[in-house]
Amino acid sequence: MFSGANLPRVGTYNINVVLSAIQASDGTSRVEIAQQTGLTAQTVSVIVRRLIEQGIVEESGSRPSGAGKPRKALRINPAAAYAVGIHFDPLNVSIVVMDMNGQALARSHQEIPPGVDPEALIAEAARTALSLLSDLGIPRDRVLGVGAACPGPIDQAQGQVSSPRRRDRWSEVPIKRLLERHIGLAVTIDNDANAAAIGERWSGHGRNVSDFAFLYMGTGIGAGLFLSNHIYRGVSLNAGEFGHTVVEPNGPPCYCGNRGCLEAMCSPAAIVKEVHAELALGRASKLALMYEEGPALVDHRAICLAAAGYDPVALQVVNRVAEYLAGCAVTIANALDLELLIIGGRSITHVAEIYRAKMSEFLRSRPLARRSHIVRVAISDMADDGAALGAASLVLHAAYAPDTAHLTRV
Amino acid sequence: MFSGANLPRVGTYNINVVLSAIQASDGTSRVEIAQQTGLTAQTVSVIVRRLIEQGIVEESGSRPSGAGKPRKALRINPAAAYAVGIHFDPLNVSIVVMDMNGQALARSHQEIPPGVDPEALIAEAARTALSLLSDLGIPRDRVLGVGAACPGPIDQAQGQVSSPRRRDRWSEVPIKRLLERHIGLAVTIDNDANAAAIGERWSGHGRNVSDFAFLYMGTGIGAGLFLSNHIYRGVSLNAGEFGHTVVEPNGPPCYCGNRGCLEAMCSPAAIVKEVHAELALGRASKLALMYEEGPALVDHRAICLAAAGYDPVALQVVNRVAEYLAGCAVTIANALDLELLIIGGRSITHVAEIYRAKMSEFLRSRPLARRSHIVRVAISDMADDGAALGAASLVLHAAYAPDTAHLTRV
């Protein structure tokens, strides 16, 4: 059922529209904001004055404006507020402290020792985050909140991983509640792909793009969807699971119930298995010696490095993965008719350009709407930090992004 | 870039919110509308009074309300306005006249003779529509407009089919302009799948569903997407092309550039080809005699009828098609996390239940979020008229559906 819109909500919405125009620009003016947003000059003036009083926006220098008098340039005050982002990956915990401009001021990466207790890990992450804030001299009342990103699916109501991809130790751990207790700040939680998409929206390739997807490749593969200027999560908050698109109907069974899912063919574990099988056959490769020393040495990172160095075995497997990913990119393009596809996540390190090139090739020649427009592919600049930066962006996004749903929420 | 919201737009939006609450109910009251929408009792009263004055809403009978005085029941006045829907299919033209409640008052179906000129066909459709209106005694000023549905993709700006699926005679025919000239009424144009989805939203299975897809199976296969209570069309208005999901990587080439697309495996033409190949091998079937008389007699309709009667050859092919469709339903569920999938279109006649059952089976056992919720499958009740009824609904939807984008459009 639809909800009615009312005036106080319109006020908050318009503040966020103005903030968003300032944030998306590299210095803008009241006149430009009015032109871009359709708001009256007076409304923009009132909102900007309030944002300056609150210390969120600052006037810095001036912008030339043709014949008229120079206009004051408006920018977000990066020190107005801060957010902490924590990414709980199955193998690593990454933490960042971010300012209002989306810049990371401090980072921490820690490998997760095997068998560690989730609550101990959450407590340790909270301690690390608090010590990063203290080293930066940021008082706690300037921290808007903490964002946590985990491999999905997430149960937002419970603040935990709801139905785990694999029955791992994160299943039904109340991450949000535990983290709030240990860090003493409000926590927002989302899956890694959604967090990465929101991070790109806030300060990356998605800044001025109404419709894009972030294909996040970590231990698994999932997508965060930005449709019509809003994150799209679906009715049970589980949209974007393109990792479970069947790409090889006779492929191996996937834990989801399908056979030959994208994730089953393209995950780091699948790549390692494939390369090991080739090396066991004695194929010529720079990795052969390493494999003889101990197959475990030929891990996903070593394979991607070898592929980037044109090793024939590694490159053959990575190229096949690139074709599967490119096929899925075409499915996404046909389904959602996006402007942009962003790829990122830990498991594209060293091979991102191979994946991007193949996806672009397919996107130029296969989607039905290619004569109307070609879907662009961008590699996330956030590297391994993508989900942690995204997690911090969750906080800024929840506080400041214009959301038409807020106009009408009862 | 986001646009600001302003007060006149809020007013129009809230009128449509109230209208939508009345339309979705079978008799509602001012108090219930206020509860459902979060609007104040006073705002609802003012809006309802205006809608009654305009003849769009009527008070009829009363509703019990516990201890208090009975509340007046509000209903849409079905005779407040009418819309015409025209579906230009490659093989048929279907026309309906619809009232404000989404009821068809008159229909016409005509087969398209081979080689007919598109403009002559459009002129003939306009004449038929005007004579249906005249037979019903509906004056032209009570007709809100005409909706036209065509196989996509549609170029909305030009009002024509933009990049045809197959290079057919509809390519770049200015349908909207020609139809407006011949019928003398405003014309709204969209693809058949979007039109069918909007028809279901207006008066079918989608009435109170925030997130659903209509998988439309006509000559081709496409989907109309309703996400977060709004039709989702994508950046070039070509979203929903799930017919070009690869389901058989080694399958036959599709005109889109992929191999083994859903459409290439499951279209009526593919089904006919497959059954003919089986019959040519001499397989036992009720269709064998017909095939000997002349292969052209064994058309898609005859095959679907035979499958419904458990003919082994027809059923084997239809079952395989059902599996491909069910696999695609899982992809849609994983990608968009919907509440409901509606199937319809001319080519599911006689076999709809076979398709529905297989889709439901897959949707219970394969999507990643199946533990959170199971995606329901419904068969459109609109039968062959789905796209024509949907086309008429386009007009009502454009005039009366609450669209948060209208709150912020500059």
B chain contacts of residue A37, beta-carbon cutoff 8 Å: 1-4, 410
Whether the predicted pLDDT of B374 surpasses 90: yes
Residue A231 to residue A225: CA distance in whole angstroms: 6
Residue found under tokens 């492929």:
A251
Contact flag A407-B5 (C-beta cutoff 8 Å):
yes
Q: Which of A163, A234, A338 is closest, CB to CB, to B234?
A: A338
* Predicted pLDDT of residue B7: 56
- 8 Å CB contact of B247 and A249: yes
Q: Do B368 and A153 touch (CB under 8 A)?
A: yes
A284-318 per-residue burial string, b: 16 or more CB within 10 A, e: under 16: ebebbebbeeeeeebebebbbbbbbeebebbbbbb
Binary contact (A235, B210; C-beta < 8 A) = yes
Predicted pLDDT of residue B410: 38
Distance of residue B271 Cα from the nearest chain A Cα, in angstroms = 20
* B172 in A contact zone (CB under 8 Å): no
pLDDT tens digits for A67-83?
A: 666 678 999 899 989 99
Between CA A223 and CA A343 the distance in angstroms is 9
Bigger pLDDT: B182 vs B64: B182
Per the CATH hierarchy, to which homologous superfamily does domain B207-380 belong? ATPase, nucleotide binding domain (3.30.420.40)
- Nearby residues of A141 by Cβ (< 8 Å), 6 or more positions away: none
- A160-173 b/e with 16+ CB inside 10 Å = b? bbbbbbeeeebeeb
Cβ distance of B2 and A10 shorter than 8 Å: no
Nearest-by-Cβ selection for A372 from B24, B238, B371: B238
> Judged by CB atoms within 8 Å, which residues 351-390 of B form the interface with A?
365-369, 371-373
Binary contact (A245, B335; C-beta < 8 A): yes
Q: What is the pLDDT averaged over residues B275-304? A: 96
Of B104 and A19, more confident: B104
Nearest beta carbon to residue B10 from set A10, A230, A247: A10
Average pLDDT taken over every residue of chain A: 89
B157 vs A45, residue with greater confidence: A45
**Domain boundary assignment for chain A:** 7-76, 80-202+387-407, 208-380
How many whole angstroms separate alpha carbon A172 and alpha carbon A115? 17
**pLDDT of A410 higher than 50:** no
Return the pLDDT at A195.
94
Class of domain B7-76: mainly alpha
For A122-168, the pLDDT digits (tens) are 999 999 999 999 999 999 999 999 999 988 777 777 777 765 455 56
Q: Which residues of B fall within a CB distance of 8 Å from A1? A: 21, 24, 36-37, 208
Q: Which residues of chain A neighbour B330 with C-beta distances below 8 Å?
A: 244, 246, 258
DSSP conformation letters of A341-397: EEEESGGGTTTHHHHHHHHHHHHHHSSTTTTT-PPEEEE-TTGGGHHHHHHHHHHHH
Tokens standing for residue B7: 């007060």
B194 touches chain A (CB under 8 A): no
Position A409 scores a pLDDT of: 44
What does the buried/exposed string (b/e) look like for B315-336 if buried means 16 or more CB atoms within 10 Å of the residue's CB? bbbbeebbbbbbbbbbbbbbbb
Residues A161-190 pLDDT 10s = 765 455 566 777 889 999 999 999 999 999
Contacts of B161 in chain A (CB under 8 A): none
Helix (H) or strand (E) holding B217: strand B212-217
Which two structure tokens, joined as six digits, stand for A188? 């927002």
CB A336 within 8 A of CB A213: yes
- Which residue of A lies nearest to B215 if distances are taken between CA atoms? A335
Cβ contact A4–B37 (<8 Å): yes
Whether B7-76 and B80-202+387-407 share one fold: the answer is no
Q: Measured between alpha carbons, how far is residue B271 from residues A388, B175, B234, B401 in Å?
A: 50, 31, 30, 38
Instruction: Give helix A268-280 / helix A300-308 axis angle, nearest 10°.
Output: 70
- CATH classification of A208-380, choosing from 3.40.50.720, 3.30.420.40, 3.30.1360.10, 3.30.70.20? 3.30.420.40
CB contact under 8 A, B1 and A36: yes
Q: What is the C-alpha to C-alpha distance for residues B408 and A21, in angstroms, rounded to an integer?
A: 14
According to the model, what pLDDT value does residue B64 have?
A: 63
Tokens of A381: 């600049």
Give the pLDDT score at B26: 78
Give me the residue from A238, A337, A371 closest to B368, CB to CB.
Answer: A238
Using CA atoms, how far apart are residues A265 and A270, in angstroms rounded to an integer? 6
Closest CA to A2 of B405, B24, B176: B24
pLDDT at A352: 97
pTM, to two decimals: 0.89
In angstroms, the CA B310 to CA B319 distance is 11
CA distance A289 to chain B (A): 35
What whole-number percentage of chain A has pLDDT above 90?
60
Q: Which residue of B has its CA nearest to A249?
A: B248
Name which of B17, B239, B365 is nearest A4 (Cβ-Cβ). B17
* Cα-based torsion angle of the residue sequence B162, B164, B168, B169 in order, rounded to the nearest 10 degrees: -10
A203 in Cβ contact with A101 (< 8 Å)? yes
Give pLDDT tens digits for A304-360.
999 999 999 999 999 999 999 999 999 999 999 999 999 999 899 999 999 999 999
Residues B176, B159: Cα–Cα separation, whole Å: 5
Amino acid (one-letter) located at A145? G
How far B264 CA lies from chain A's nearest CA (Å)? 13
CB contact under 8 A, A2 and B163: no
Contact B211 A235 (CB under 8 A): yes
Minimal Cβ distance to B227: which of A162, A227, A337:
A227
Helical (H) or strand (E) element with B396: helix B386-400
Which CATH number, 3.30.420.40, 3.40.462.10, 3.40.50.150, 3.40.50.920, labels domain A80-202+387-407?
A: 3.30.420.40
Task: Tell me which chain A residues have a C-beta less than 8 angstroms from the C-beta of B340.
Answer: none
CB contact under 8 A, A5 and B368: no
pLDDT at A369: 86
- Helices of type H across B29-174: 30-37, 41-53, 118-136
Residue A23, chain B, CB below 8 Å: the answer is no
Three-state DSSP at A253 gives strand
